[in-house]
Amino acid sequence: MHARPEQRPLIVIGGGGHAKVLVSTLRAMGRHVTAAFDDDASRHGQNLLGVEIEGTIDAASLKYPWADAVIGIGSPRVRHILAERLPFNWITVVHPHAYVDPTVVLHEGAVVMAGAVVQPETVLSRHCIVNTSASVDHDGHIGEYVNISPGVHLSGNVTVGNAATIGIGASVLQGITIGENTVVGGGAAVIRDLPSNVVAVGCPAQVIRSIVSDAA
Ligand SMILES: CC(C)(COP(=O)(O)OP(=O)(O)OC[C@H]1O[C@@H](n2cnc3c(N)ncnc32)[C@H](O)[C@@H]1OP(=O)(O)O)[C@@H](O)C(=O)NCCC(=O)NCCS
């Protein structure tokens, strides 16, 4: 039989800056973080705000099967691979100083950082990130593994495709659709739909190149 949630270990996958902010956020939620794991051996034995980076990610699944866990890695592609592969109970994370309307649907692994605002009837899909002080207005649809970077503002009815990244401080007008895997540069203003697998920058945002999909 599985332990009750408050008795389960809680681990963070990843040992970099995003993982550090997650440890801080989980503590603000009143959770004790047991350990962190990272495949970069140079990080083993180091700590994130006092939480030890104990070993590789595979070691985590051996040592803490059925742990509560959250992925603290910025790359949408890596989050996707790990979420499919690992056995953990992926929790949702919402900083107590974020506002998430009660009608918002949060799927497993979704993360909302401090100062973020998510307005009514928005969907936050699996393992997406709404980062520090970003806002997602009403009826947004944020796809799986998406990164909404700090300070981004999405107007109402915006759809962001799976694994897309909206760069720091970008703004997106109402009703826009951004395709899967697309990257919007920091500070961009998106005023027209963007296709999948492109990088777009500037005000207004223009496509500067394609992204070759390496989905394995
Ligand atoms: C858009 C982005 C991904 C492009 O990265 P890249 O593919 O390595 O592109 P480059 O740095 O080679 O730049 C290519 C061109 O786009 C321009 N460019 C890059 N980013 C830009 C931006 N955000 N706004 C306007 N122009 C930009 C460069 O000046 C360069 O122009 P040039 O060819 O005339 O010299 C990156 O610059 C960016 O904005 N990333 C967002 C980072 C972020 O949000 N971090 C938060 C993490 S929490």
**pLDDT one-digit tens code per residue, 128-141:** 999 999 999 999 99
Q: Check if 143 has its Cβ closer than 6 Å to any atom of ligand 1.
A: no
pTM: predicted TM-score of the whole model, two decimal places: 0.96
Which residues are CB-neighbours of 62 under 8 A, at least 6 positions away? Answer: none
**pLDDT one-digit tens code per residue, 67-107:** 999 999 999 999 999 999 999 999 999 999 999 999 999 99
Which residues are CB-neighbours of 80 under 8 A, at least 6 positions away? Answer: 127, 144, 145, 163
Atom of ligand 1 nearest to the CA of 209: 7
Which of 212 and 45 is assigned the larger pLDDT? 45
Same domain, 202 and 98: yes
Does the residue 213 lie in any domain? no
Which of 91, 114, 144 is a domain's end point?
Answer: 91
Q: Check if 114 has its Cβ closer than 6 Å to any atom of ligand 1.
A: no
Q: Is 153 a catalytic residue?
A: no
**pLDDT one-digit tens code per residue, 159-175:** 999 999 999 999 999 99
How many domains does the structure of the chain reveal?
2
Instruction: Tell me the CA–centroid distance for residue 9 and ligand 1, in Å.
Output: 39
Give the domain range for residue 100: 94-207
Which residues are CB-neighbours of 122 under 8 A, at least 6 positions away? Answer: 101, 104, 105, 136, 137, 138, 139, 140, 141, 142
Query: Average pLDDT, whole number, for the chain?
Result: 96
Instruction: Tell me the CA–centroid distance for residue 171 and ligand 1, in Å.
Output: 15
CATH code of the domain covering residue 84:
3.40.50.20
